[in-house]
């Protein structure tokens, strides 16, 4: 296929010539031609591209072909798209040609070599960030945290600034023991708590690298979950086996001969909903009968809205459940503070696996969190954010009921995200349209285990906690604009 397109200066303000040639479908050829135009410097940073409808008419291709090509290049960082300003070449994209704006010297080996094809650099984040996984960064309690930090440093003994304890500061483990028992129903003496930097760090400590961890695989996991956690397990040589989900959570009755299972029992991630009480009891019975363990990811257990709190699974059997939590959702992922509540027999092996001090969490941060918990500041912050996020959840549900009644909203009784169920076959187009409009969100398929045999519904996962308060309304408007019509 060989076709030339010359765009008129009146339409976008510049003359542009593209050669559409080579193997592949029309979408792939168009993407390749646009990349080459940017890479060679013929399309400079900030250059506005024609509307996809106009380009489609000029090329004689379907509008979706051009829209998908634009969306792909936006997602890769070559282009940016904003309402009112059109689609433009992204700032910061490097050129392989010497002397071009944004480029340096061409790499050895010629223009066609692999080294001469630099990776585009995204100049800025999306206009509207609705990805799951982070709280509202603007709501971090700076004044209260600063006060706790000052008090903690003033009260800290001199030995706190020495090598320290691999289990974590005693002050923090004492504070966590009281808080987790009161707020989450965890049965935890301080000497069973090991401080870590978050859930991924806990997984690395438990399963190690190359099969050298405290626990061994295979590990059963929920059919939907974070791909990053599966990557951590894979890097450790641990095979993960998916367990099917339904409206009652993981189908734990299908667990077999695995040595452990990883669950999100308070709020299944990302589909939503707690593990049914009968299945909570069932997985404990399975662990006892098999001599197995349950790894409990209690990632957002404090945030519930329309139901009573669901206590930690660990409370049913502290010798069979490893309870893992962190402040990533309640305070900030930047703090890198988490904890494991371990069966007594695993404390020593986990501390041995922790090893060098470089893997330990910051002692001043640990002391500050201990004060934050003991002073009641943590409880006050969680209650305040629970009300704020509930209000955001209600705004999302209300706007979708009015503007997109064909979309079903699920998993909203707790947590910081919702799942929007979409008509079959529309998930991919919605994710691409969102990227093209500068809306960052996650497709539900991205969280599905590659070996899961269950039917995969179409949907998107919306993190309603992520945008700052002043930008939330505009983010919802943009979201409604990319959803399929009813």
| 133 domain-assigned | no
Looking at the structure, tell me whether residues 228 and 371 fall in a common domain.
yes
- Cβ contact 414:393 at 8 Å: no
Q: Could you tell me the two tokens for 40?
A: 């060679």
Looking at the structure, tell me whether residues 367 and 390 fall in a common domain.
no
| 336 domain-assigned | yes
Alpha-carbon distances, residue 278 vs 126, 217, 253, 263, 289 (angstroms)? 43, 26, 10, 15, 16
Looking at the structure, tell me whether residues 163 and 194 fall in a common domain.
yes
Alpha-carbon distances, residue 50 vs 12, 192, 418, 431 (angstroms)? 6, 62, 35, 21
CATH number of the domain that residue 392 is part of: 3.90.1150.10
Q: How do strand 442-443 and strand 459-463 relate by DSSP bridges?
A: antiparallel
Looking at the structure, tell me whether residues 394 and 353 fall in a common domain.
no
What's the pTM value of the predicted model, to 2 decimals?
0.75
Looking at the structure, tell me whether residues 351 and 305 fall in a common domain.
yes
**Looking up tokens 């009755």, which residue turns up?**
253
CA distance 168 to 44: 52
| 57 domain-assigned | yes
| 132 domain-assigned | no
Closest by CA to 115, choosing from 101, 105, 129, is 105
- Could you list the mean pLDDT of each consecutive 10-residue stretch along the chain, which spans 486 residues? 43 52 78 84 83 75 80 80 76 51 35 38 69 92 97 95 91 97 93 95 84 81 92 90 94 92 95 93 96 95 82 95 96 95 96 79 95 97 95 95 93 93 93 91 94 86 93 94 85
| 135 domain-assigned | no
- Residue 157 burial (C-beta neighbours within 10 Å; 0-12, 13-18, 19+): exposed
CA distance 127 to 343: 45
User: Which residues, 6+ apart, have CB-to-CB distance to 478 below 8 Å?
Assistant: 83, 127, 128, 434, 437, 438, 439
Looking at the structure, tell me whether residues 302 and 335 fall in a common domain.
yes
Q: What is the CA radius of gyration of the chain?
A: 25
CATH number of the domain that residue 116 is part of: 1.10.10.10
Its domain, for residue 384, covers: 380-482
CA distance 177 to 189: 6
| 90 domain-assigned | yes
Structural domain total, the chain: 3
pLDDT at 365: 97
Looking at the structure, tell me whether residues 467 and 321 fall in a common domain.
no
Q: Is the peptide bond before 218 cis (omega within 30 degrees of 0)?
A: yes
Q: Could you tell me the two tokens for 120?
A: 């585009």
Phi, psi of 262 (to 5 degrees): -105, 125
Looking at the structure, tell me whether residues 90 and 187 fall in a common domain.
no
Looking at the structure, tell me whether residues 204 and 307 fall in a common domain.
yes
Looking at the structure, tell me whether residues 460 and 337 fall in a common domain.
no
Q: Could you tell me the two tokens for 117?
A: 């094809």
CA distance 221 to 451: 11
CA distance 220 to 295: 10
Looking at the structure, tell me whether residues 66 and 175 fall in a common domain.
no
| 130 domain-assigned | no
CATH number of the domain that residue 174 is part of: 3.40.640.10
Q: How do strand 338-341 and strand 321-326 relate by DSSP bridges?
A: antiparallel
Domain end position, chosen among 65, 96, 124: 124
Domain end position, chosen among 342, 375, 408: 375
Closest by CA to 299, choosing from 386, 409, 414, 212, is 414
| 43 domain-assigned | yes
Long-range (24+ apart) CB contacts under 8 A made by 427-430 are: 427/458, 427/459, 427/460, 429/64, 429/484, 430/460, 430/482, 430/483, 430/484
Looking at the structure, tell me whether residues 322 and 239 fall in a common domain.
yes
Domain end position, chosen among 320, 355, 375: 375
pLDDT at 209: 62
pLDDT at 212: 58
Q: Is 363 left (phi over 0), alpha (psi -120 to 50) or beta?
A: alpha
């Amino acid at each position: 296929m060989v076709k030339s397109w010359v765009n008129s200066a009146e339409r976008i303000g510049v003359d542009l010539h593209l050669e559409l040639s080579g193997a592949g479908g029309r979408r792939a050829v168009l993407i390749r031609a646009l990349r080459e135009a940017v890479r060679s410097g013929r399309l400079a940073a900030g250059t506005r591209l024609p509307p996809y409808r106009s380009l489609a008419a000029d090329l004689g291709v379907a509008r979706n072909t051009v829209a998908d090509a634009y969306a792909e290049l936006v997602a890769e960082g070559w282009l940016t798209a904003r309402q009112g300003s059109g689609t433009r070449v992204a700032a910061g994209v490097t050129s392989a040609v010497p002397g071009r704006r944004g480029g340096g010297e061409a790499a050895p080996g010629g223009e066609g070599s692999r080294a001469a094809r630099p990776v585009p650099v995204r100049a800025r984040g999306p206009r509207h960030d609705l990805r799951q996984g982070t709280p509202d960064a603007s709501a971090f309690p700076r004044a209260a945290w600063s006060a706790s930090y000052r008090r903690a440093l003033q009260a800290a003994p001199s030995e706190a600034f020495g090598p320290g304890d691999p289990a974590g500061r005693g002050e923090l483990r004492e504070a966590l023991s009281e808080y987790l028992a009161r707020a989450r129903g965890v049965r935890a003496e301080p000497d069973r708590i090991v401080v870590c930097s978050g859930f991924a760090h806990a997984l690395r400590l438990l399963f190690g690298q190359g099969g050298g961890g405290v626990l061994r695989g295979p590990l059963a996991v929920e059919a939907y979950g974070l791909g990053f956690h599966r990557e951590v397990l894979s890097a450790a040589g641990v095979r993960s086996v998916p367990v099917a989900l339904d409206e009652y959570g993981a189908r734990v009755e299908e667990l077999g001969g695995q040595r452990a299972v990883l669950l999100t029992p308070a709020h299944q991630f990302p589909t939503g909903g707690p593990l049914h009480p009968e299945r909570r009891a069932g997985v404990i019975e399975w662990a006892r009968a098999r001599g197995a363990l349950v790894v409990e990811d209690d990632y957002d257990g404090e945030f519930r809205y329309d139901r009573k709190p669901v206590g930690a699974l660990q409370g049913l059997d502290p010798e069979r459940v490893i309870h893992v939590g962190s402040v990533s959702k309640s305070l900030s992922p930047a703090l890198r503070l988490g904890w494991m509540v371990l069966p007594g027999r695993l404390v020593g092996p986990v501390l041995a696996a922790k090893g060098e001090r470089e893997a330990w969490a910051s002692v001043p941060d640990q002391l500050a969190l201990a004060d934050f918990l003991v002073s009641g500041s943590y409880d006050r912050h969680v209650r305040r954010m629970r009300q704020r996020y509930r209000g955001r959840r209600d705004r999302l549900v209300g706007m979708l009921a009015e503007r997109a009644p064909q979309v079903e909203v699920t998993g909203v009784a707790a947590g910081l995200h919702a799942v929007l169920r979409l008509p079959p076959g529309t998930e991919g187009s919605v994710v691409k349209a969102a990227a093209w409009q500068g809306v960052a969100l996650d497709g539900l398929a991205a969280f599905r285990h590659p070996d899961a045999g269950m039917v995969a519904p179409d949907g998107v996962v919306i993190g309603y906690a992520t945008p700052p308060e002043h930008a939330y309304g505009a983010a919802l408007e943009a979201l409604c604009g990319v959803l399929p019509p009813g």
